[in-house]
Amino acid sequence: MKRILAALSAALLCSSGGAALAPPGVDQAVVESDAMPPKLSEFGLFRGNDPGQPATGIGYTLRAPLFSDYTEKHRFVSIPAGKKAKVGNDGVIEFPVGTVLVKSFGWNDVNGGRPVETRLLIRRASGWVALPYIWDADGKDATLALGGRRVPVTFKSPDGETHSIRYAVPNKNQCKECHSLGGEIVPIGPKARNFIVDPAASGKLRSLYFENPAALKPVMPQWDDAKSGSVADRARAYLDVNCAHCHNPAGSASNSGLFLRWTDDPAGVNYGIGKRPTAAGRGSGGMDFAVAPGDPDHSFLIYRLESTDPGIAMPEVGRSTVHKEGAALLRQWIAEMPKASH
């Protein structure tokens, strides 16, 4: 994946060259149709179908990315010639029809750094469509996996621990579950507050793809960088990215009454502080509150985050391991809260 990251910026810069030309490889007719091609190569998103050589677009990262079993993720966005994305007044990035958000997942110590899967989020006239592709064993193409798949992998997390898991590539319905807002599929990560355009991209290149690139202000703290914000702010950023796509008033977990958006939800009962379980079942672990101030060991938010049991674990989709570093941050956040007086 390091090879891919190194090649990504150069490929994107060279392919765009300073003019918003139609990318020679990308088949916009396929992108904008109702097709679900069985092979990733049919979109023409990569030069020679090499995941390290995007045919066009602009790379980006996120200040607070979603945890996915310690995968390295490499992202770029392809926007058709003559169209631009725009940052709305609410900070949501409005992508035009024909846009493809491309995200590849892998580990530096797996398959020589080649990605395991690439997910596409395609903006069509009918709305966003999510398509997961798993790279073939020879690394020459990737195959559509509408039904998802479990891929056995062994990798090391940043602390050196070895993990052997059956990595979960989500099925199409699971993609929709996480990306659903008000019944419609939408992007999760790309919001102005969390979106970092490839630092190697020139101002001219940025202006080719965005009407108002200056509005891309990634102000959200980095959860793992103490210099970027307080423990509470970084914890809330973590919860926003990992939980709030479902836990918001219009999300798939709206009936839980637990809303975890970064700045949109007040840090009270609906944010989990002193909140009793509604329909958590085994997920509450017999605990009284989602967040028990000053007591992370008796906060079922932590209990669920630190579990891999399918009936308990949160998030429900997207991980087969515990994110120990993220859990440690949330434990610190809860431990530093003043305990409720009795």
pLDDT confidence of residue 341: 55
| Confidence band for 122, pLDDT divided at 50, 70 and 90 | very high
Same domain? 162 vs 309: no
Higher-confidence position of 284 and 2: 284
Identify the band that residue 224 occupies on the pLDDT scale cut at 50, 70 and 90: very high
Characterize the bridge pairing of strands 142-144 and 127-135. antiparallel
What mean pLDDT comes out for the span 265-279?
85
Tell me how many degrees the CA angle 48-51-55 measures, rounded to the nearest 5: 55
What's residue 182's pLDDT? 64
| In contact, 278 and 247? CB cutoff 8 Å | no
How many structural domains are present in the chain?
A: 2
Mean of pLDDT values over 207-236: 91
State mean pLDDT over 8-31: 58
Residues 164 and 307 in one domain: no
Same domain assignment for residues 196 and 230: no
pTM, two decimal places: 0.87
Residue 342 confidence (pLDDT) above 60: no
pLDDT band at 16 (very low <50, low <70, confident <90, very high): very low
In a shared domain, residues 179 and 151: yes
Residues 187 and 305 occupy one common structural domain: no
Q: How confident is the model at residue 178 (pLDDT cuts 50, 70, 90)?
A: low
Which of 135-144, 198-207, 243-252 is most confident? 135-144
| 275 within some domain | yes
Residues 195 and 235 in one domain: no
Q: Is the pLDDT of residue 37 over 90?
A: yes
Place of tokens 């809303």: 259
Do 210 and 271 lie in one domain? The reply is no
From the centroid of its chain, how far is CA 313? Answer: 18
DSSP E strand boundaries for 107-256: 117-124, 127-135, 142-144, 149-156, 162-169, 180-181, 184-185, 195-197
Q: Among residues 189, 215, 241, which one ends one of the domains?
A: 215
Clarify whether residues 211 and 232 are in a common domain.
no
3-7, 27-31, 110-114, 240-244: which has the minimum mean pLDDT?
3-7
Is the model's pLDDT at 161 over the cut of 50? yes
Alpha carbon distance 334, 328 (integer Å): 10
The answer to the question of residue 240 being in a domain is: yes
Domain annotation covers residue 328: yes
Alpha-carbon torsion (279, 280, 285, 287), positive or negative: negative
pLDDT, tens digit (0-9, with 9 covering 90-100), for 83-109 = 999 998 888 899 999 999 999 999 998
| Domain boundary, last residue among 215, 248, 268 | 215
Residue 340 placed within a domain:
no
Q: Which of 215, 238, 272 is the last residue of a domain?
A: 215
Confidence check: pLDDT of 18 > 70: no
Q: Evaluate whether residue 133 is within a structural domain.
A: yes
Q: Would residue 221 count as lying in a domain?
A: no
125 and 70 co-located in one domain: yes
Taking the C-alpha atoms of residue 26 and residue 12, their distance in angstroms, rounded to an integer, is 13
Mean pLDDT of the chain: 86
DSSP E strands in 161-283: the ranges are 162-169, 180-181, 184-185, 195-197
- 156/254 same-domain check: no
Q: Are residues 234 and 203 in the same domain?
A: no
Q: Is the pLDDT of residue 72 over 50?
A: yes
Whole domain around residue 302: which residue ranges? 226-335
Under 8 Å between Cβ of 241 and 189: yes
pLDDT digits (tens, 9 = 90+) for 293-309: 999 999 999 999 999 98
Q: What integer pLDDT is reported at residue 322 of this predicted model?
A: 95
**251 in the same domain as 207:** no
The Cα 185–Cα 101 span in angstroms is 13
pLDDT at 3 over 50: no
